[in-house]
Structures are given as structure tokens and as C-alpha cells.
Structure 1
Amino acid sequence: MDTLTQTAAEIRKEILKTIHYAGAGHIGGPMSAVDILTYLYFKEMNINPEDGWNEHRDRFILSKGHSAIALYVTLAVRGYMPLEELKTFDALDSRLQGHPDMTLLPGLDMSTGSLGQGLSAGLGMALGAKLQNESFRTYCMVGDGESQEGQIWEAADVASKYGVDNLVCIVDNNRLQQFGWSNDQVTRNAPLEDPSERWKAFGWHVISIDGHDFEEIERAFKEARDTKGKPTAIIANTIKGKGVSFMEGAYLWHSRIPTDEELKDALAELNKEVVL
């Protein structure tokens, strides 16, 4: 668990450095997703960075595609590409566009960015595995914001109907969208919903966890593997901007670029997680 914690801190540092260097991208949503991505790519999934297109590999779809930088950095740290390539993020002709492009980079299982569509593709992959008697599993991360899209619930309904128990949907439930919720400056109203009860109503096995606690994350994915006859939804309760105190829970960091001084302060905080 200490190794996973250190790896997650390194990934967060590289996210911030990459966004700062590129002068573009998102921070809040990627930072909330890091611990789940770390566990998936460094412990849970059956993958091989040297054979990114192996047909027997586990699949992962980042439905909240605007958080692509978190996935790119995770792939780089895992060995899918050199860390130096992160400097090309969002540049013309780069493999690392602002949203994932599966035609450019091994290890990407779906091009995403149009919110709400990832779970449908994940369902198709999981059903395909069943029909072909393949053992690979499919994991899909969706945002709590994009879960307001109707297509998410159409996919959830069909997945339950066919008992697709090789499909896991992880909800990055950071409870904060791009422009925040009601306060002195913002007039949007937060959705009134209980995500666990909603997924249960659609016939899924539901596990609610602290999405930054690796012991809880490990237990959840083990329980998902042991669950038969229905898909699993893991409600990962997370913090937007996790890891940097002045970014946590602040909607302005959804896509703000850190200044030189802010980057220095953020990296200093994250260095406390790393054993040198």
C-alpha cells in the first residue's frame, strides 16, 4: 500500500508539471481519479505495457475523457511510453491529445470526450468477452457529472438485464462539477441523488468506498471479482484536486493552469507522500 501511495503521489506531480508546461488541460478531475487509476494499472488489471494491443488484456475506458492527462501519466509511469513524451501533451500532432484517441496510443481502449458514452462501449466489450468465452474484464470510469446523461442509465439497464458480471463501473464521485454549486457567485443547484441507491435500482451490485484509501479500493475490486450474475458499480467518494490543499474542493481548479509559485507549492506538498 505504501508503494501505491508513493506511485499515486508521483502521478499527481507529473500531472501538475505537464499541465503547467503545456499551459492547458484539467487538474481537479484528474487528481480525484489518480488513486483508482493507480490501483487499476499497478495491481488490478491484466495488462502488459510491451504488448498494449494483446487481445486477452483487461480493458479500461476513461469515460470522463477530459481527465485524459491522469490516464496519460499513469500509462507513462506504468511503462507504456517515455515520461519525456508527456511534454507533448495537447500539442499539434502529439499522441497525447486533450481527449484520448485510441488510434494513436497502445493501451487506450476507447476514444472519449463526448460525456456519457463510455459505459455503453464498456458494456459492448464485456458482452463481447462473454460471447467469445474470453476471460478479460472491462473497467469503466465515469464522472458523477456525466452520470446525468441518459445514455449512462440506458447502458446500466442493459448491463443488468444480461448479468454482465465482468463489467465494473467506477463512479468518480468528487461531487463538484466545472462551475461548482450554489454559492454567492454560482446559481447552479447540485443534483439531489444517492448514487448508491440509484445504481442498486438498476440492478447492479454496489460498493461505496473512500476512493483515496487503497485498502478500501483493494477490497472493492476483490468483491467485484467475486460477484457473479450482475455488474458491479464502485462509488468512489473522492475529492476534486486531491493531494494539494489549496486545490482540494475548489471548482476553479477544474481547468485552471498553476502559476510557477503555485506549482512549486503543490509539488512541495506532494513530495511529502514520497519516500526519497
Structure 2
Amino acid sequence: MRRKILAGIAVGIVAAFSVGVPATASTSTNAVLSVLHGIPDTPVDVYVNGDLTLDDFQPGDLAGPLDLPAGAYEVALTAPDAADASSPVLGPVTLTLEGGNNYTAVAHLSESGDPTVTPYVNDTSPTAAGEGRLTVRHDAAAPAVDVLAGGTAVIEGLANPEEASLNLPAGTIEASVAAAGTTDPVLGPAPVEVQEGVLTIAYAWGSLEDDNLELAVQTITGLHSAPDGVNSGTGGQLAQRDMFQQWMWALGGIAVAVVVAASGLVVARSRAQR
């Protein structure tokens, strides 16, 4: 699995210089998987099929996306620097990935505060022109909540580990989370950007009782009818990956410009010599 991840990083670098199908786009035989760590105060190592895949994975970090063959994967979370996956703190849990789907697996607390893993299928179906999709997921040790936009409940009675989605005009909304039936925020308000053709996923994680509720945000692009972006995410390690990709795109553009200019110079000199 570690070799697959390293290979995936290499493929991503190569893809940054090319034009074509997004490197992490799901196919009929492959699935896309991201992993969010939403258990407070618990750094872990992540093992997949017995192999160490994520080392010292910190709460709030988002890893991926990985392009994986469809099939069943056994995931176990251990204490950092564990020798192997024989004594997990969570799991093993079997995640079944179907080809053509985009997933995020979230390690989080149940409503009662017990560690658990919830796999979500990300809705990457096309959005209308000028619209984006906002999905809210309740992964915190807390009762059912309402999601407020500008002080008005737009999602009501969302319980752990449920999710709800809205297709909205592109723009920025002030979102907050309150106990169901109330308007006093327990999380937020915070600005959430809804981008055209982008799935924005907001995760409420942590514990209400321990007063450590947090918000994590993941974005997945390419929801236009003709995808024009690479499925990606923001938060933790992935935010750094996105910045790296932007630099790679810029360097790729410069490289192409240099090649074109050099070719023109060679042609001009050849004609002059004739």
C-alpha cells in the first residue's frame, strides 16, 4: 500500500504537466478515497490490509485523495509507532469501495463518544451553471443539530453520523451549528465558500461535552457537466498538496512556454542561414 501511495504521488506530479482526465477521477474499476481524522487528542497510525499507510496521523488532518482499485480494504488505527496492527485502538473495519465512486472515510466519535469509522459516498454528480454543492456531516459527540446560514436554519435535526446536501448559488455564507430547535451556535459562525462546480463538505467533529468541537472542510472540484478540475480537498496535509499542485501547474506552463520559444528561435535561425 505504501508503494501504491508513492506511485500515486509520482503520477500526480506527472499529471500536473499534462492535459486529460483528472488523475484522481474515479473510473468503472477504480474508486477515489480520502480519509479524515476526527477523533480529538488521539494521533494514530493507519494500517490498510496490514500495511502501515499513514504514520502519525493527527486529529483534523485530511489525507488523499487516493485512486484505488475497487474492492474490500481492512482498516485499523493503532497508537503511533505501533509495531504492527495487531493491537488497534479502532478496528479493524472493512471498507468496501465500489468502482466509479468517490469516498471519504471519517474516523470520529459517535453521539455517545465512542470511536467509530463512517464511510461516506461523495455526491459528485453535476451541478447547474452558477451553482455549487454544500454537504454538512455530523461527526461529533453531540445530539442532533441544526445548520444555520445567516442565522436561519437551512438543515434541521441532523444527527450523528448523518449528512445533508444543498445545491446553492456560488458565494460565501456564514454558517453555524446549533442544537436542534435553537439558534445559539455551538460551532461557528464561520464563512463557508460555495464555489461553482465544486462540492464543499463541512464536517463537525470533536465533543460537545469536552468543549473541543471543530470544523473541517473538504472540497472536490469537477462537478461541471464537463469536468475541468482535479478532485481535491483542503485541510491539514491536503492543503499543502493543493498548493504544491498549483506551483506544479505554473512551472508546467513556464516549461511549455520556454519550449515553444526555443523552437521558434531554432526555426528563425535556420531560415536566416538559408
Say which one has the larger Rg: 2
Q: Which has the higher helix share?
A: 1
TM-score (norm 2): 0.30
TM-score (norm 1): 0.30
Q: Which has the higher strand share?
A: 2
Higher relative contact order (CA 8 A, sep 6+): 1
